[in-house]
Amino acid sequence: MRILALALSLSLVLISSFAVNAADTMRLAVTTSFHNSGLSDILIPAIKEDTGIEVQLLVVGTGQALKLGRQGDVDAVLVHSKKAEEQFINEGFGTRRTEIMYNDFVFIGPKADPAKLADVKQAQVALKSIAATKSPFVSRGDESGTHKRETSLWKGAGLDTETLDSSWYREVGAGMGAALNIASGMNAYILADRASWLNFKNKGSLALLSWGDPVLFNQYALLTLNAEKHPHIKSGLSKKLEAWLVSERAQKLIGTYEIDGQTLFVPNAKKVDAS
Amino acid sequence: MADILAALSQAFWLLVSFDADLMEIVWRSLSVTVSAVVIASLIGLPFGAWIAVRRFRFRRYVIAIINAFMGLPPVVVGLVVYILLSRSGPFGVLNLLFTPTAMVIAQVIIILPILISITHQSIRDLWANYHDLLISIGTSRWQRVVTLLFDARRALLTAVLAGFGRAIGEVGAIMIVGGNIDHVTRVLTTAIALETGKGDFSLALALGIVLIIIAVVLNLLIHTISKTEREGTW
Amino acid sequence: MVSTLLPIRLEEAVVSKRSKILVGPVSTSIDAGGPTMIIGPNGAGKTTLLRLIHGLERARRGQVVFAEPDINEVRRKQSFVFQKPIMLRRSALDNVIYPLSLRGVPKAEAKQSALAMIERVGLKGSEDTRATFLSGGEAQKLAIARALVTKPDLLLLDEPTASLDAQAMRDIEALIQQAVLDGVEIIMTTHDMGQARRLANNIIFLHEARLLENTEANLFWEKPQSDEARRFVDGEIV
């Protein structure tokens, strides 16, 4: 009897791994921000319907997504960190960078708003104010797209994040949801992408305080991987995915996606030449 | 407090309604962990018994190292297995990354030290007792291992259940090697991590409650089947 | 049944642990026609000598030579009964079946033989009792059953009645006598001289790790050769 149970569970596990790499399946590494927006729940079934491709999402941080791309463990990467993406292509791991859509970052903070962000439209002014009042601020601290954007914004405001005092500048090394949790727990300011904020269920006494500065726009791009580095990857499917994401249907789905009556993404793909 | 109450009711409804997603995740959690426990037991129990019975020069060091590995952070195991199974890694051609098989492999590695250590200790005590008899009566080394394993089976069951407990609650390693892919490699623990990260604490807690209920039911089932508490000590 | 194991020759055999000699050098021959009882004061090396013959101790120097040339047969045809019975954590019946199952005897046949042996030693009704729950006397009888179920040529017993009450001792001595009648050779240690007088055909006397005498029992009791033996028989040394 024991042997039967053993054989049963082993075969089940094996069966499930075979099913995984069927012909029309591809793996796409995406960032937690993208996944948390909920947009993938709309797009993935639509992709299956229109192209027959089953897209498996690996939801990880930007750094890990690019690493998986370098290792050849995924077939394509969708992140929002232009500098890192361009470096990726320069290093020869990716063949092309295709812009798909953008959303924006927003400033979240305690309703009490000690740094008075509610009246501020410019990101740099907001950051300077937070620093001046030494109000608690949670940073992703994980080399993600969001984190890199945050660091560059501080730089634009004339402040080096390495030198900020850790009594109020808290680097948590976590994903967006986890970082928002911590900010909620600490009643701290935090830079988040709008979608993650709208979907976040633990808002506590945090509120959306400031937004709109163009430097806060957040461009998502799809990276197709270089088949020369990793011949086994599903380049054909990646190309199909790319073509779908820039198609009218996809762009419409992206542009009309809402949470609580608010649209989150602005589709901005240019037509891709069929190569 | 509100979160916990919300979680309890959510857990109740999920279970009672046989929520399809939940059933799928529960099934996957169990099949991964049970497979890992079975495989690790097939390797670890005889090995633990063997080193208890055999005298060899570096035995003390082997035992010390195995005991030390019990404290190995599962995430580290996950990273190592990832590096090995990655397409850029030595075993990439096997295409095992991001499959339940990879998760089983990681969990086997994580629970082996516990199984070997507990088995070794129990068998050693029993071997001290049986030593002269088994030699006198004329057993081969393999027969000794089998006899000891059989007579120590209650203690070994404890070892196996300890391994199960460690594996069913593990999240770091299987997150890395499994990828937490929806409908493919998502299990209870990784789902809990996901929902926590999204801030949906009550769902995360509900899943946690389901996990504990499953673990308790399984333990009770096994103890009932083997009548552990019925008769006296073995 | 004529034993092919005896005579056993010990040739300058020594057992030592950490440069302390436990017994030896011993050169003697143990012939068929026992029981042969090994007696002597405490610490003389009786148990060690018995274990050496059985193979539970290794000779540091010298050797133990059986009449039977095939070493596997030598092992198979001996059984050992320990002073404190070692029971497997199983039922009494399963304990007696165990040595048969090791030798590949089919289950049904093994069970039959085991049941018969259990009845013979007077434990009928206790087949399903956990062996570790048996009393001292019962456990020792079970050990003898287990030792005899494989039909050995040679049965070695190490002070088998040392911690038992008078009745149990009588029962076990009766079992030993019965085994002798069935043709099993017996080599046994004891510190009980009454027991030695009752059972022995040959006496081996050890004193401080040396073998001082190996003679027919009657001769030994009447006129021990060595001083130490005489003093031991007289009860002067224990």
How far is the C-alpha of A200 from the C-alpha of B117, rounded, in Å? Answer: 44
Give pLDDT tens digits for A110-148: 999 999 998 888 999 999 999 999 999 999 888 777 888
Give pLDDT tens digits for A34-91: 888 889 999 999 999 999 999 999 998 888 899 999 999 999 999 988 889 999 999 9
pLDDT bucket at B160, cuts 50 / 70 / 90 = very high
Question: How close are the terminal C-alpha atoms of chain C, in Å?
Answer: 37
The answer to whether B180 faces chain A, any CB pair under 8 Å, is yes
Quick one: pLDDT at residue A197?
A: 87
SS3 A236: helix
Counting Cα atoms < 13 Å in the Cβ hemisphere of A85 gives 20
B151 contact residues in C (CB cutoff 8 A): 88-90
CB contact under 8 A, B138 and C86: no
Are A84 and A272 spatial neighbours (Cβ–Cβ below 8 Å)? Answer: no
Quick one: pLDDT at residue A193?
A: 86
A21 contact residues in B (CB cutoff 8 A): 95, 99
The answer to whether C76 faces chain B, any CB pair under 8 Å, is yes
A and B: number of Cβ contacts within 8 A:
96
CB contact under 8 A, B132 and C86: yes
Residue predicted with more confidence, A5 or C187 = C187
Are A227 and A16 spatial neighbours (Cβ–Cβ below 8 Å)? Answer: no
The partner residue sitting opposite A72, judged by closest CB among B88, B101, B181, is B88
What predicted TM-score, i.e. pTM, was given to this entire model? 0.81
- Cis peptide, bond prior to residue C25, ω within 30 of zero: yes
Residue carrying structure tokens 């009980």? C192
Q: Is C33 left (phi over 0), alpha (psi -120 to 50) or beta?
A: left
The partner residue sitting opposite B137, judged by closest CB among C89, C90, C102, is C102
Give pLDDT tens digits for A197-222: 888 878 888 999 999 888 898 899 99
List, in sequence order, the alpha helices (H) in A108-200: 123-133, 145-156, 176-186, 194-199
How far is the C-alpha of B62 from the C-alpha of B189, rounded, in Å? Answer: 32
Are B170 and B77 spatial neighbours (Cβ–Cβ below 8 Å)? Answer: no
Residues 6+ apart with CB under 8 A from A162: none
CB contact under 8 A, B151 and C75: no
Task: List the single range of B3-7, B128-132, C56-60 with lowest mean pLDDT.
Answer: B3-7
How far is the C-alpha of B81 from the C-alpha of B176, rounded, in Å? Answer: 9
DSSP assigned state of C130: B
In this predicted structure, the answer to whether residue C58 has a pLDDT above a threshold of 60 is yes
What percent of chain C shows pLDDT beyond 90? Answer: 81
In this predicted structure, the answer to whether residue A1 has a pLDDT above a threshold of 50 is no
The answer to whether B198 faces chain A, any CB pair under 8 Å, is yes
Q: How far is B184 from chain A (nearest CA, A)?
A: 7
Q: Choose, out of A2, A6, A16, the residue to mutate when testing the contact with B (most B CBs < 10 Å).
A: A16
Tokens of A55: 């897209």
Which of A112, A130, C127 has its CA nearest to residue A138? Answer: A130
CB contact under 8 A, C86 and B130: yes
SS3 A33: helix
Are A29 and A65 spatial neighbours (Cβ–Cβ below 8 Å)? Answer: yes
- Chains in contact with C via at least 3 Cβ–Cβ pairs below 8 Å: B
Residue carrying structure tokens 């224990």? C238
* Adjacent-strand bridge partners of B186: none
* Adjacent-strand bridge partners of A26: A55
CB contact under 8 A, C88 and B234: no
C56 contact residues in B (CB cutoff 8 A): 132, 135-136
Counting Cα atoms < 13 Å in the Cβ hemisphere of C184 gives 25
C80 contact residues in B (CB cutoff 8 A): 132, 136
Amino acid letter for position C17: K
* CA distance to A24, B181, C134, per residue, from B85 (Å): 22, 17, 56
Q: Nearest chain B Cα to C150, which residue?
A: B137
Tokens of C229: 């033996």
The answer to whether A21 faces chain B, any CB pair under 8 Å, is yes
DSSP assigned state of B72: -
Q: Is C45 left (phi over 0), alpha (psi -120 to 50) or beta?
A: left
The answer to whether B21 faces chain A, any CB pair under 8 Å, is no
| R_g (Cα) of chain B, nearest Å | 20
Give pLDDT tens digits for C147-167: 999 999 999 999 999 989 999
Are C140 and C172 spatial neighbours (Cβ–Cβ below 8 Å)? Answer: yes
A177 contact residues in B (CB cutoff 8 A): 196-199
- Cis peptide, bond prior to residue C41, ω within 30 of zero: no
In this predicted structure, the answer to whether residue B234 has a pLDDT above a threshold of 50 is no
How far is the C-alpha of C189 from the C-alpha of A19, rounded, in Å? Answer: 70
The answer to whether C205 faces chain B, any CB pair under 8 Å, is no
Tokens of A70: 């370098």
pLDDT bucket at B66, cuts 50 / 70 / 90 = very high
How far is the C-alpha of B107 from the C-alpha of B163, rounded, in Å? Answer: 9
In this predicted structure, the answer to whether residue A4 has a pLDDT above a threshold of 60 is no
Residues of chain B numbered 68-127 and touching chain A (CB < 8 Å): 86-89, 92, 95-101, 104
What's the burial of A187, exposed, middle or buried (CB within 10 Å: 0-12/13-18/19+)?
middle
Quick one: pLDDT at residue A11?
A: 63
Quick one: pLDDT at residue A203?
A: 85
Question: How close are the terminal C-alpha atoms of chain A, in Å?
Answer: 57
Quick one: pLDDT at residue B229?
A: 55
Compute the mean pLDDT over every residue in chain A, rounded to the nearest whole number.
Answer: 87
The partner residue sitting opposite A58, judged by closest CB among B96, B179, B201, is B179
- Chains in contact with A via at least 3 Cβ–Cβ pairs below 8 Å: B
The answer to whether B131 faces chain A, any CB pair under 8 Å, is no
In this predicted structure, the answer to whether residue A254 has a pLDDT above a threshold of 50 is yes
The partner residue sitting opposite A58, judged by closest CB among B38, B86, B181, is B181
Backbone phi, psi, residue B153, to 5°: -60, -30
Tokens of A197: 């904020």
Tokens of A239: 């190309």
Q: How far is B128 from chain C (nearest CA, A)?
A: 11
Tokens of A51: 């192209």
* ipTM, two decimals: 0.91
Residue carrying structure tokens 């439209």? A121
C159-197 b/e with 16+ CB inside 10 Å = b?
bbbbebeeebbebbeebbeebbeeebbbbbbbeeeebbe
List, in sequence order, the alpha helices (H) in chain C: 46-54, 71-76, 92-102, 107-120, 136-148, 166-181, 193-199, 217-222, 227-233
In this predicted structure, the answer to whether residue C114 has a pLDDT above a threshold of 70 is yes
CB contact under 8 A, C88 and B151: yes
